[in-house]
């Protein structure tokens, strides 16, 4: 089991990191052609598109997951109905998104407004949820390779296209939108062929109304939860724009969050790989073993984030050829360490989802997002864009902790997860790495070796350092 988790995690994380690494290598080239305003425009438009993204699948991913595990002999029939419904719904959604973007287009991008709207909406209108359903299928089958291959190939293509559009044709921020359009279309085409030709998961447009109604009854309460991802990782740029924060300052935050997104992708890879494993363990009533998997995930991600944060200053100065942008590494540290709370959320979310006790999850995640927005509205103008990173950090603490106090969680879990101790450990680690971010390289090398040795010992000795106390109910 551990080997399978490790293998899938590596594929899910290494595959996107192949193009990400290539993208990092070209940063010294393209940052000469880009300004903080370009990054600000891109980040602001992404924030506005993300504001509606949760509506694209209406939370129906939970139905795909549950039908796969609970109805293994007829899940494709359920999927085909959802596929057909979502294709029709995405026609409506693409129009809503287009109008939204047209109205809230940043002033600095007004001259390209209509083109940006079309580049963002046409793939949705033509392909609907094809990419989403194809990815879900391979994820639940615990077959990470097809996803990894696509991610690597199309990611590298995106890097090449960015070089062409930004470096050769000097298109600035528009280069990113042209690239995303081309790569988005090709990715959807690749999954369309698999779903419709190989797996025979063709959309049923004359779906059963009762099936869709029952599915939406379960999935729609999760929309606030899914929307909270935007509130936690995109709304701050929307708030900045509405508060008339300088576009260049938004760009500074955006470049810092770009690096933290690489780490978030790694964490998401772990969550994606671990999810089906946890579901199978729950199915076999191995709840203690599932809890131990979450603990292992927590340990590995915390060590990884600590090391990346420790070296982020050197990474920025090596890769960013812009003095203003490279000095945002302190913001990146806060954002990167905030990702360390992700496994705590995974610990209760997967268990509650498997037992179909999702009624109260949306409250936690939505409130976490509201905390982020409210803190930004109150303090952003006084403390600058670095406070947005602090707001995200605080919100992630709430999201990672609160689920363990739900009655629904306590009713299905007989084992303690000790979230308070994990929260304290992550906070202390974050404070330490932030205050030692400017120490000399030799000291950083020593601390890195110590962190790696400790994490290796935890794995070699079967995680006894982590589980010795927690193994008691």
Q: Which two tokens stand for residue 293?
A: 């998997």
- Given pLDDT bands bounded at 50, 70 and 90, which one contains residue 470? very low
> What is the spatial distance between Cα 35 and Cα 322, in angstroms, rounded to a whole number?
8
Whole-Å CA distances, 276 to 83, 223, 270: 21, 21, 11
Q: Does residue 89 contact residue 203 with C-beta atoms inside 8 Å? A: no
- Given pLDDT bands bounded at 50, 70 and 90, which one contains residue 346? very high
Average pLDDT, stretch 151-179? 92
Tens digit of each residue's pLDDT (9 = 90 or more) over 185-203 = 999 999 999 999 999 999 9
User: Out of 100-114, 265-279, 422-436, which region has the weakest mean confidence (pLDDT)?
Assistant: 265-279
Average pLDDT, stretch 80-104? 95
Sign of the alpha-carbon dihedral angle for 314, 316, 322, 324: negative
- Given pLDDT bands bounded at 50, 70 and 90, which one contains residue 145? confident
- DSSP letter for 169, please: S
Q: Does residue 48 contact residue 104 with C-beta atoms inside 8 Å? A: yes
| pLDDT (0 to 100) of residue 285 | 87
Alpha helices in 194-244 (DSSP H): 209-219, 223-233, 235-242
Residue of 14 and 166 predicted with greater confidence: 166
- Given pLDDT bands bounded at 50, 70 and 90, which one contains residue 473? very low
| pLDDT (0 to 100) of residue 443 | 95
- What pTM value is reported for the model? 0.75
Of 23-27, 329-333, 465-469, give the range with the top mean pLDDT: 329-333
- DSSP letter for 54, please: G
> What is the spatial distance between Cα 457 and Cα 181, in angstroms, rounded to a whole number?
46
- Given pLDDT bands bounded at 50, 70 and 90, which one contains residue 432? very high
User: Which H/E stretch holds residue 88?
Assistant: helix 75-104
CB atoms < 10 A from the CB of 425, how many?
Answer: 15
| pLDDT (0 to 100) of residue 5 | 52
- Given pLDDT bands bounded at 50, 70 and 90, which one contains residue 52? confident
| pLDDT (0 to 100) of residue 336 | 97
Radius of gyration, CA atoms only, the chain: 22
- DSSP letter for 47, please: H
> What is the spatial distance between Cα 240 and Cα 235, in angstroms, rounded to a whole number?
9
| pLDDT (0 to 100) of residue 13 | 53
| pLDDT (0 to 100) of residue 99 | 95
> What is the spatial distance between Cα 155 and Cα 16, in angstroms, rounded to a whole number?
7
**Percent of the chain surpassing pLDDT 70:** 91
Whole-Å CA distances, 72 to 135, 145, 234, 240, 300: 18, 22, 36, 46, 33
């Amino acid at each position: 089991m551990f080997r399978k988790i490790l293998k899938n995690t590596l594929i899910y994380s290494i595959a996107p990191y192949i193009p990400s690494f290539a993208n990092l290598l070209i940063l010294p080239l393209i940052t000469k052609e880009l300004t903080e305003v370009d990054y600000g425009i891109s980040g602001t438009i992404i924030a506005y598109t993300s504001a509606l993204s949760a509506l694209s699948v209406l939370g129906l991913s939970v139905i795909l997951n549950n039908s796969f595990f609970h109805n293994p002999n007829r899940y494709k029939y359920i999927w085909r109905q959802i596929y057909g419904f979502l294709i029709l719904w995405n026609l409506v959604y693409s129009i809503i998104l287009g109008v939204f973007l047209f109205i809230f287009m940043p002033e600095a991008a007004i001259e390209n407004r209509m083109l940006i709207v079309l580049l963002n909406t046409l793939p949705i209108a033509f392909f609907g949820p094809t990419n989403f359903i194809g990815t879900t299928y391979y994820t639940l089958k615990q077959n990470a390779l097809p996803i990894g291959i696509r991610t690597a190939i199309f990611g590298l293509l995106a890097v090449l296209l960015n070089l062409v559009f930004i470096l050769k044709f000097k298109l600035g921020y528009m280069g990113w939108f042209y690239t995303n359009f081309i790569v988005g279309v090709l990715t959807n085409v690749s999954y369309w062929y698999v779903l419709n030709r190989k797996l025979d998961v063709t959309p049923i447009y004359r779906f059963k109304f009762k099936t869709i109604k029952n599915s939406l009854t379960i999935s729609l309460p999760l929309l606030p939860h899914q929307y909270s991802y935007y509130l936690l990782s995109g709304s701050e740029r929307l708030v900045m724009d509405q508060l008339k924060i300088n576009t260049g300052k938004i760009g500074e935050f955006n470049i810092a969050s770009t690096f933290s997104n690489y780490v978030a992708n790694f964490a998401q890879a772990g969550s994606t790989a671990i999810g089906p494993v946890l579901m199978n363990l729950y199915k076999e009533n191995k709840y203690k073993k599932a809890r131990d998997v979450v603990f292992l995930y927590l340990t590995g991600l915390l060590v990884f984030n600590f090391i990346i944060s420790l070296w982020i200053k050197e990474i920025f100065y090596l890769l960013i050829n812009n003095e203003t942008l490279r000095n945002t590494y302190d913001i990146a540290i806060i954002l990167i360490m905030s990702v360390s709370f992700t496994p705590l959320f995974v610990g209760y979310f997967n268990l509650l989802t498997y037992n179909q006790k999702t009624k109260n999850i949306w409250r936690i995640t939505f409130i976490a997002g509201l905390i982020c927005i409210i803190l930004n509205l109150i303090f952003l103008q006084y403390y600058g864009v670095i406070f947005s990173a602090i707001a995200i950090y605080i919100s992630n603490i709430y999201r990672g902790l609160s689920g363990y106090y739900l009655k629904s969680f306590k009713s299905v879990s007989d084992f303690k997860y000790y979230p308070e101790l994990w929260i304290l450990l992550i906070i202390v680690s974050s404070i330490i790495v932030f205050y030692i971010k400017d120490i000399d390289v030799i000291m950083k090398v020593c601390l890195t070796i110590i962190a790696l040795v400790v994490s290796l010992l935890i794995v070699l000795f079967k995680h006894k350092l982590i589980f010795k106390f927690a193994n008691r109910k």
